[in-house]
Structure 1
Amino acid sequence: MTGKTRPPHARRFSAWTTRRWLRVGVAGSLAVLAVLGVTGTWVLGRTATISDELVDVRSPALSTAFRLESALLNQETGIRGYGLTGTPEFLEPYQRGLTDQHTYAAQLTHLLDGDARALSDLETVQDTLSRWQERIARPVAASPPGAPSPLATERAAEAKAAFDTLRQAMSGQQERLRAERNRTRADLAATVRVRNWVFAAIAALIVLMAGLVFEGLRRGITRPLEQLGADARTVAGGDFGHPIESAGPADLRRLSGEIDFMRRQLVRELAFSEEARRRLDAQTAELQRSNAELEQFAYVASHDLQEPLRKVSSFTQLLQRRYGGQLDAKADQYIGIAVDGANRMQTLINDLLDFSRVGRVHHDPEKVDFDTVLERTLASLSVGIEEAGASITHDPLPALVADPTQIGMLWQNLIGNAVKFRRPDRAPEIRVTAAREGELWRFTVTDNGIGIAPEYAEKVFVIFQRLHTKDVYPGSGIGLAMCKKIVEFHGGTIAVDPEYRDGTRISFTLASDPPPAPSSSTIAEATRATPEPAP
């Protein structure tokens, strides 16, 4: 074997997907952050505990010990003055000192709760104080006022020795309280240093983790995605033979493989598309030839076919005028039928020509004032309107980009139908409205005529579909089909309102700027264009 065999753990890691790598990375990061958080919480808690002990216990205890000493000094001063002079005013400092003694002693007991050594010092001070009070203070205070107390003179040396012992006890207590406070301060300073180091280590670890995560994302995800994007852009640029390389986690490698499979499939499809494009070019050429033949047929229909039809119509009309009434009734009937058929055939051919020209011959879009076109249409239909006694009103109509000839044909068919399909017992009343609906304009033509049943709402727009015989209502059955073709050519829709029951209401929409009609040359160019493959 020429290649190196990958170790089992490497093969195992290579099967990990991006999601699994992210889960493992997030779990590891959270575990490290949890350890750091617990450590930081412990350090902060330790700092707060020592700080609280210093602020709430050690310093107040030392301060209270000094206040207790001051209270005892007040007692000693008052007793000594009263013993030497017998003046009752000297007992006031003594009484105040007693009150303060009990207060400060209770405070110290509360502050030093749990500290056996400090409580032992306080108990020593209280025992020494009790002996001094029992031997000196209370007996002297009980002496009658007004004269020096003989007991004070008698026990002066003992009083001095007893109070000196009390002073020593208080000094020892204060020294140990001061030492405890200093020790607590040192512990606080050491804990603060540890806290600072811990948080510095936490910050360093967070920065290191961020760097590791960033580098892992760059190597495992960003770099493979950049390589995949570069390969895809190369393929999109036309180099369909360029392979898509696989790198990164398993899911990214699968994605690269699927994109490469799509590239190979695209290469195969492009090979088939060349033949399809050649066939499409041939079909386009055939379509252009067919369109040319259709235009030639339209020319022939409009000229060559109508010439013999005009002759048939002219001679049958001559027969009708010259021999009408000279032959029998059957001959007159046959001649009338021939004249009517020739005229209807000529009308039908002209309507078919107009229908075929929609979108092919008349296509000169411009800004059209619909009011002007409607007024021109009403003028051309004025004879039929006057004969029917029709009343026609309309809203102010907009100016849109359209073909003026086709719009004129649209109005002529809609207004003409509204006048023609009227009720015999009432004069036609026709109303034309227009309203804006987003990017479209909706027009309605409403009349009070015979109406259209809902089941025929779609049928009336099919060419040659008639709801009445030609004897009742003349026509070729092309008018509404032509309206539908004109409206759809301008990017709109037309329909009969089935909810309207008092006649007929036809509504249609037109775009402000209709889509351009594709020509045969643009169709050929579009079919020859090769679609660019998606990256």
Structure 2
Amino acid sequence: MTGEGKRPRERGLSAWTTRRWLRVGTAISLIVLALLGTTGAWILSRTESLSKELVDVRSPALTTATRLESAVLNQETGIRGYGLTGTPDFLTPYREGVAEQESRTAQLSGLLAGDRAALADLGAVRDAVTRWQERIARPIAAAPPGSSSPLAVERAAEGKTTFDAVRAALGGQQERLRAERVRTRDELVTMMKVRNWVFGTIAVLIVALTSLIFEGLRRGINEPLDRLGADARTIAGGDFDHPITPSGPADLRRLGEEIDSMRRRLVRELAFTEEARLRLDAQAADLQRSNAELEQFAYVASHDLQEPLRKVSSFTQLLQRRYGGQLDSRADQYIDFAVDGANRMQVLINDLLDFSRVGRLHNAHQSVDLDDVLERTLSALSVGIEEAGAVITHDPLPTLVADPTQMGMLWQNLIGNAVKFRRPDEAPRIRVTAAREGGLWRFTVTDNGIGIAPEYADKVFVIFQRLHTKDVYSGSGIGLAMCKKIVEFHGGTIAVDTEYREGARITFTLAPEPPETPLPAALPPTTDSGTERTR
């Protein structure tokens, strides 16, 4: 591992990632909010409890105690009137007071069920009223009507003392209930103030937490991401030397370091690419010079070499005509060799020039009807076709955008080979097919000739390669190499169908439209083999 890839080990808060910061921040926020919520819920519950106690207990209890006092006073008034006059009507408020007393006492017992002090006061009131009733009210009420009760006069002083005790008990009870109501009300007011403060504090803390969270996100995530994005845009704009300064949580810093590492690798790759481009430019310049030299060679071959070759050919033919038969047989054989070699050299040079011109001089793409091109080719080869007795059939051929001259050379070489490499005892049968295959046209040229062995399926397209010597089959060994160059110049491929055993089958593809930039067909390699082995 290189020093560039090593990072110092991070410790403490600097090693915290964005996820960890978010988790811790969320946990703290939830804890604070939970505490505040619990406090608020308790305060709400306490406020509701106090309010309920004040409304449902303290105020009704005080009211009921006042009504209890009124019922006892009604009893005392009725007994006192009956005792002085003996009139039975005075007993009515007494009896009503007794009934209301019992009702109010039971109601107070229910309201004050949980308050021991208040129940003790109620018990004191009940005991005082009971003593007064037993000693004064009931004996006087039991006296016969019609005249004043002697018992009322006799127990007047005791009745006053006993009822004063009742009044004192009732007053103490009401005083305690009134004090409890005031205390409950004050506590409720205090709790409501506390509630308002707590909820105000909760609102402030929520706003503060929200502000802290947004500020933390802005400083810890948004700003580092904005800086990282700005650095990335600067680099994307072409300033590849602009460094990226990592910031923020650990994972964002690691992201920045990785992007900066990518930037440095990109700078190295660009430097290497620029160096390679310069080398390619130099090689392209060398290739242009080489192509210029090759074109100069073609010019020399077509002019300078043709002239002495024609002279050699002319004089050897003249020597053959004038002195043939005048010298011995060995001399005639030598002259024949010279004439044949000169002719073969001339054919070879012409074929080589045609091969070199493919894609360089012939480049006039236009709409070409391959049916017409094939018919013209058959017409040009008609003499050889008639001599061989060949039968040639073909499918309807498409119209393509291509170089018509090169298409003619393609058909001429393929049909010419099919006619030439025939079996001695069988007339050639040649079939040309065409079928659309995706975005290309696939063509086949099938014959019943001597065929091509699978091990030579690639070699037959190499220039100057032959499968037979010139004594068996004539030719320069350039035909199929030229076909390959023409097909590739038109964006297709060509091959021998090695599965076909009844003769030879050549398949090739052509594009309906020429490629935008045709690849230059390079000169195929040659071999140093002494045996001529290609068609």
Code of the residue aligned with 1:313 in structure 2: it is S
Code of the residue aligned with 1:397 in structure 2: it is L
Unaligned runs of 5+ in 2: 1-9, 33-207, 521-535
In 2, Cα distance between the equivalents of 1:12 and 1:233? 32
**Corresponding residue SS for 2:463:** coil
Specify the alignment match of 1:312 in structure 2: 312
Q: How does 1:120-199 map to 2 (within 5 A)?
A: none
In 1, Cα distance between the equivalents of 2:30 and 2:448? 80
Code of the residue aligned with 2:306 in structure 1: it is Q
Specify the alignment match of 1:485 in structure 2: 485
Checking the alignment, whether the CA contact within 8 Å between 2:373 and 2:404 is kept in structure 1 is yes
**Corresponding residue SS for 1:417:** helix
In 2, Cα distance between the equivalents of 1:277 and 1:437? 37
Specify the alignment match of 1:301 in structure 2: 301
Q: 1:319/1:491 Cα in 2 relative to 1: closer, same or farther (>3 Å)?
A: same
**Corresponding residue SS for 1:347:** helix
The alpha-carbon deviation at position 29 of structure 1 amounts to 11
Deviation readout 1:166-215 (Å, 9 max, x if unpaired):
xxxxxxxxxxxxxxxxxxxxxxxxxxxxxxxxxxxxxxxxxx99999998
Specify the alignment match of 1:532 in structure 2: none
Specify the alignment match of 1:393 in structure 2: 393
Q: How does 1:20-419 map to 2 (within 5 A)?
A: 224-267=224-267, 280-419=280-419
Deviation readout 1:476-512 (Å, 9 max, x if unpaired):
1111111111111222111111110111111011122
Deviation readout 1:408-460 (Å, 9 max, x if unpaired):
11111101000000111111111111111111111100011111111111111
Unaligned runs of 5+ in 1: 1-9, 33-207, 521-535
Deviation readout 1:70-98 (Å, 9 max, x if unpaired):
xxxxxxxxxxxxxxxxxxxxxxxxxxxxx
**Corresponding residue SS for 2:445:** strand
Code of the residue aligned with 1:483 in structure 2: it is C
Checking the alignment, whether the CA contact within 8 Å between 1:406 and 1:486 is kept in structure 2 is yes
Deviation readout 1:148-180 (Å, 9 max, x if unpaired):
xxxxxxxxxxxxxxxxxxxxxxxxxxxxxxxxx
In 2, Cα distance between the equivalents of 1:504 and 1:211? 85
**Corresponding residue SS for 2:393:** strand
Query: How does the TM-score come out when normalised to structure 2?
Result: 0.57
The alpha-carbon deviation at position 314 of structure 1 amounts to 0.8
Code of the residue aligned with 1:232 in structure 2: it is A
Specify the alignment match of 1:428 in structure 2: 428
Checking the alignment, whether the CA contact within 8 Å between 1:359 and 1:517 is kept in structure 2 is no
More off after superposition, 488-497 vs 231-240 = 231-240
**Corresponding residue SS for 2:304:** coil
Specify the alignment match of 1:156 in structure 2: none
Q: 1:245/1:288 Cα in 2 relative to 1: closer, same or farther (>3 Å)?
A: same
**Corresponding residue SS for 1:304:** helix
In 1, Cα distance between the equivalents of 2:323 and 2:17? 101
Q: 1:516/1:440 Cα in 2 relative to 1: closer, same or farther (>3 Å)?
A: same
In 1, Cα distance between the equivalents of 2:397 and 2:23? 66
Deviation readout 1:241-299 (Å, 9 max, x if unpaired):
32223234323322322332343455566567666655554443333222222211111
Code of the residue aligned with 1:392 in structure 2: it is I
In 2, Cα distance between the equivalents of 1:213 and 1:373? 81
Checking the alignment, whether the CA contact within 8 Å between 1:434 and 1:444 is kept in structure 2 is yes
In 2, Cα distance between the equivalents of 1:236 and 1:283? 31
Could you tell me the percent identity over the aligned residues?
82
**Corresponding residue SS for 2:397:** coil
In 1, Cα distance between the equivalents of 2:269 and 2:329? 75
Code of the residue aligned with 2:484 in structure 1: it is K
In 2, Cα distance between the equivalents of 1:432 and 1:27? 81
**Corresponding residue SS for 2:260:** helix
In 2, Cα distance between the equivalents of 1:28 and 1:377? 91
Code of the residue aligned with 2:467 in structure 1: it is L
Code of the residue aligned with 1:241 in structure 2: it is D
In 1, Cα distance between the equivalents of 2:473 and 2:328? 29
Code of the residue aligned with 2:500 in structure 1: it is Y
Q: 1:497/1:242 Cα in 2 relative to 1: closer, same or farther (>3 Å)?
A: same
The alpha-carbon deviation at position 358 of structure 1 amounts to 1.5
In 2, Cα distance between the equivalents of 1:367 and 1:320? 49
In 2, Cα distance between the equivalents of 1:424 and 1:30? 100
In 2, Cα distance between the equivalents of 1:432 and 1:470? 27
Query: How does the TM-score come out when normalised to structure 1?
Result: 0.57
